[in-house]
Chains A and B, each alone.
Chain A
């Protein structure tokens, strides 16, 4: 291969995957199930709202978020108690209305609040972390039609990284499943 030709290949945009558009949630649900059945696992479906039951069609595993939240919650719970114990019992104990320094009932509100606060951090930032967000640059944004995904479009994208990926086969699959529009997506 000559040097200029090689350079040209490098300049060619890399195929990210094949994007298919479908008419409605049910059609997307069915194509997701079909894609899984055909053996693909590097694919994703896109819709303006979560589609009820599509996790089963896509064969999604249970979200790990619960564990992240519990971990954060525990930090909040223990952290609150440790903080108060250090400050009010060890470092600078003060007699407040004759109650014990370790005034457990009175510490419940703050312990509760900090547990909830940290758990909420876990839930929100954990969710963004698991979803790989923020990610402002996404090959799908190169497709003009994909803008409908946040409006009324229902899309599936089978990615080129999938070991079974073959452009024609994937297009055939989507077409048979009733895609209204099929497009190649480049990085």
Chain B
């Protein structure tokens, strides 16, 4: 006998489900009357959304002076929150596109959910660059449209690359999400009994019939979109990292930024998906589809990407010393020991240390612990952006021009308010759209594979026989 036990692949969908029971499990949520709890949650989310409205309104009325920016620190919470939200918005497309190309079928349980999260997170992110410009009424200057100055945008500016990257990302993610939704909207259309739902879902499902001639083009489109979205998702956070890295500021100008930002984005995005998933699957009874195995796999991704982020921190620190450049060395020492050391160590603890707990299988499979770490990770990733943005600006070349940066109440309210936007959208999504990619989940259960039927068209569940180990002849 072996010292080690073979661990067979867990089934993707738990419980004794067939196609019809999956349909009911997922679409009943959209068809039954709205629960009271939903209204309560919506009131809370709308209150926060109102806070956002007030904070943004006041900012536009008064100008960016209401924020805590000071002389060396010209970039504060706005860019931090932008990068944080955009980072979170990477998990959805990663799950739906990259894992699709890698043929990771477990993605089907969470892809719809996390794509929705992606889209709403990018919307929250988009608020900040739009409002930070000061004169928001001329925001169209960032687009290459003729204006009264007869000037064009600066195509050499990474901030402009960002405009293109984020808007492309939002559009493509949205299309990808919608394409996935069409067959499931048709399912709700066909189950709906009231007129309004019949019409609404009927229109948005575009007359989908489930024709296999259509599926044929559909799958091709899905494949191509996945192929396009994969480099796109990498490019977006790469370009966000360029915002910092093309500059000359010590601590910003470092070549590892692109892959390091991407790893960090996946890290925080997966954490956010877990935070939401653990709550949602409990409330909506989705534990058969969003299983503990999924949670474990996602925890492994968090562990891997967290370690990649740790790797990047290490490279930065080492090369700052190795470079022999005085200012590079100084900024990294100041990060760890200077006025913002509290933020630096918070970042290190949350991002590098906390995911290492997932080396233990027990902890990876513990729902409560996962929920806790998923929040810790997102706090850590906020601090990472804080450390990058603020420390490098506050303590630059000349100590005489150093200053300490603190946010004002308006910085804080704007940030808190974006959660209102996010949760409002998310609650609408949970209420009106299927939160599981139903057609895709059906596709990966064993009943979907024609190979699992015998000649009489009776279902034969696939079996794996584990061989008994033989002794080796010496």
Contact = CB atoms under 8 A, between A and B. Distances in A.
The answer to A–B direct touch (Cβ < 8 A) is yes
Interface of A: 23-27, 29-30, 32, 44-55, 58, 60, 63, 65-66, 69, 83-84, 87-88, 91-92, 94, 96-97, 99, 103, 106-107, 109-110, 112-114, 116-117, 119-121, 123-124, 126-128, 130-131, 133-138, 140, 146-152, 178
Contacts of A97: 156
Contacts of A137: 207
B440 interface: yes
Given A46-B212, A92-B150, A134-B207, 18 more contacts: A26-B453, A44-B213, A49-B210, A49-B215, A49-B439, A49-B448, A60-B216, A65-B220, A92-B151, A92-B152, A94-B154, A96-B154, A97-B156, A106-B156, A109-B165, A112-B235, A123-B224, A136-B202
Given A110-B160, A151-B23, A152-B23, A51 B212 contact: yes
A119 B224 CA distance: 9
Given A48-B439, A50-B215, A65-B220, A120 B190 contact: no
A152 B20 contact: yes
Contact of A46 (B211, B232, B457): B211
11 contacts: A30-B457, A45-B211, A46-B211, A49-B440, A52-B443, A60-B213, A60-B216, A103-B155, A113-B165, A134-B207, A149-B190
B210 A48 contact: yes
Contacts of A51: 212, 215, 448, 450
Contact of A50 (B19, B231, B443): B443
B172 interface: yes
B232 A116 contact: yes
B450 A107 contact: no
A181 to B, nearest CB: 15
Interface stretch (B75-83, B118-126, B179-187, B348-356): B179-187
A6 B153 CA distance: 69
Interface in B215-239: 215-221, 224-225, 228-229, 231-232, 235, 239
A151 B151 contact: no
Contacts of B178: 124
Interface in B413-461: 438-440, 442-443, 447-450, 452-453, 457, 459
B93 to A, nearest CB: 11
Contacts of A134: 203, 206-207
B156 A87 contact: no
Given A109-B235, A150-B183, A50 B218 contact: yes
B144 interface: yes
Chain A interface mostly: helix
Contact of B221 (A45, A54, A124): A124
Contacts of B211: 44-46, 131
B213 A29 contact: no
Interface in B387-417: none
A178 B456 CA distance: 10
B345 interface: no
Nearest to A131: B214
A120 to B, nearest CB: 4
Given A124-B175, A127-B221, A27 B235 contact: no
B225 A151 contact: no
Interface of B: 18-20, 23, 144, 150-158, 160-161, 164-165, 168, 171-172, 175-176, 178-179, 183, 186-187, 189-191, 202-203, 206-221, 224-225, 228-229, 231-232, 235, 239, 242, 438-440, 442-443, 447-450, 452-453, 457, 459
Nearest to A110: B164
B221 A25 contact: no
> Which one of A27, A44, A46, A48 has the highest number of Cβ atoms from chain B below 10 Å of its Cβ?
A48
Given A51-B448, A138-B207, A150-B208, A116 B231 contact: yes
A24 B450 CA distance: 8
A151 B190 contact: yes
B193 to A, nearest CB: 11
Contact of A63 (B156, B165, B216, B448): B216
A133 B208 contact: yes
A123 B152 contact: no
Contacts of A47: 210, 212, 215
Given A46-B211, A50-B215, A131-B218, A151 B172 contact: no
Contact of B224 (A69, A112, A150): A69
B217 A27 contact: no
Contact of A133 (B187, B214, B232, B452): B214
B453 A24 contact: yes
Most interface-central of B18, B154, B215 (chain A CB within 10 A):
B215
B19 A152 contact: yes
B168 A114 contact: yes
Contacts of B175: 120-121, 124
